Amino acid sequence: MYSFEKVRDFTNEVFLKIGCSATDAELATKVLVSADLRGIDSHGVARLIGYIRLWEADRINPTPNVRLVHETPSTGVVDGDAGLGLVVAPKAMDIVIDKAKNVGSGWISIKNSNHYGIAGYHAMMALEHDMVGMSMTNASPLVSPTFSTERMLGTNPIAVAIPADKQPPFVADFATTTAANGKLEILQRKSEEAPSGWIQDKEGQSSTDPHELKEGGALLPLGGDRDHGSHKGFCLGSIVDIFSGVFSGANYGPWVPPFVSFLPMPEDPVGEGIGHFLGAMRIDGFRPATEFKSNMDTWIERFRNAQSTKGMPNVVIPGDPERNFEKERLANGIPLNEKVIDDLQEVGKKFGLSF
């Protein structure tokens, strides 16, 4: 178990060492470590070595000039200048929030960026402004559309954060696949089988082997197969891809660059870097904020108290599990597995830092 402060300070030092400004290093750290706090271990410091390797491969610009390149009062495109998505996305979200302050809502599509951490962080930035926040991103292709054997989409997550009054906010943050890649990695480490509907082999047949992705297999869209609505998961992943990539001029579909530096960049890019899409709507752009928030309290309380199936827990309000993790880990520390500790020590060695 590592204290939050230790993990945070080490990460901050590393981002400084690759040349980030003090402000950017602090921001990137805050976004990255929020994943560890919120229990989304696959997207926290476990990925730090991946970002560093991308920087070593000259695929990340540590001093990006993040700027609006096209806009209307409520929409626009931000060029991330090949920066860390951990820095580009929250800066773009500041613009989104400004637009929403001015005209009720703001919608920014981002090109020329990199992996942006957990989708939920950026959506949640809207909450303190009494806005609903939205965040989505395309990602390296790992997912096959229904009926196909090709990897055409990333796990393309969607996050939506909605403020309440006495209740904590509603925060949904989920991959548009049956299971996120992080869950598969856990099964791989434990050598356990995956449930049906998570993955297919390279021939497009359903598989329960969590190592299938290394053999040419693919993750499956939410739903798993056609009978169970995988075409809907494919629609969702596609919408995220188009809003993030086609709106902005980033790469999309199978052209999205890989996160791992040992895989080559696509040879015939259709855009620049990876893409995100961020939005915010002022709740008082619809009705008085107090009315909205009081109704959200009613919504949350009613759903939390819905009759449970015998032997099952209460209905889980989106955001509750992550909030519980955050409370517990701030108090007791962050568990890191051996592989992650090794990776962090390797990163430390590169820069003369100890972990």
List binders of its own copies among 77-96 (CB under 8 A).
77
In the complex, the smallest distance separating the C-beta of residue 2 from its own copies, rounded to whole angstroms, is 29
In the complex, the smallest distance separating the C-beta of residue 158 from its own copies, rounded to whole angstroms, is 8
Dmax (CA) of the chain? 56
In the complex, the smallest distance separating the C-beta of residue 242 from its own copies, rounded to whole angstroms, is 6
What lies within 8 Å, CB to CB, of 21 at 6+ separation is 63
Among 90, 117, 145, 257, binds its own copies (CB under 8 A): 145
Q: Taking CB under 8 A as the rule, which mask of x and - marks residues 147-176 in contact with its own copies?
A: xxxx-x-------x-x-------x-x-xxx
Examine residue 292 and tell whether it contacts its own copies (CB under 8 A): yes
The alpha carbon of 12 is separated from its chain's Cα centroid by a whole number of angstroms, namely 20
Examine residue 121 and tell whether it contacts its own copies (CB under 8 A): no
Distances (CA, A) of 320 to 154, 160, 225: 26, 14, 29
Closer CB to its own copies, 64 or 224, in the complex:
224
The torsion angles phi and psi of 131, rounded to 5 degrees, stand at -125, 155
Q: Tell me which stretch binds its own copies (CB under 8 A): 30-38, 90-98, 208-216, 250-258.
A: 250-258
Closer CB to its own copies, 45 or 96, in the complex:
96
In the complex, the smallest distance separating the C-beta of residue 133 from its own copies, rounded to whole angstroms, is 12
User: Looking at the DSSP assignment, which residues form a beta bridge with residue 343?
Assistant: none
What DSSP character marks residue 153?
Answer: B
In the complex, the smallest distance separating the C-beta of residue 138 from its own copies, rounded to whole angstroms, is 11
Examine residue 227 and tell whether it contacts its own copies (CB under 8 A): yes
Examine residue 285 and tell whether it contacts its own copies (CB under 8 A): yes
* DSSP track, 162-179: E--SSSPPEEEEE-SBSS
Q: Tell me which stretch binds its own copies (CB under 8 A): 7-15, 37-45, 113-121, 233-241.
A: 233-241
Examine residue 206 and tell whether it contacts its own copies (CB under 8 A): no
Closer CB to its own copies, 247 or 355, in the complex:
247
Q: Kindly report the CA angle at 11 between 5 and 346, in degrees rounded to 5?
A: 120
What lies within 8 Å, CB to CB, of 296 at 6+ separation is 162, 163, 164, 165, 167, 170
Examine residue 195 and tell whether it contacts its own copies (CB under 8 A): yes
Among 182, 204, 266, 333, binds its own copies (CB under 8 A): 204
What SS3 class is residue 86?
Answer: helix
Examine residue 4 and tell whether it contacts its own copies (CB under 8 A): no
Residues 28-67 interacting with its own copies (rule: CB under 8 A):
none
Instruction: List the one residue out of 125, 129, 54 whose CA is nearest residue 91.
Output: 125
H or E stretch at 48: helix 48-56
Examine residue 323 and tell whether it contacts its own copies (CB under 8 A): no
| Residues comprising the chain, all counted | 355
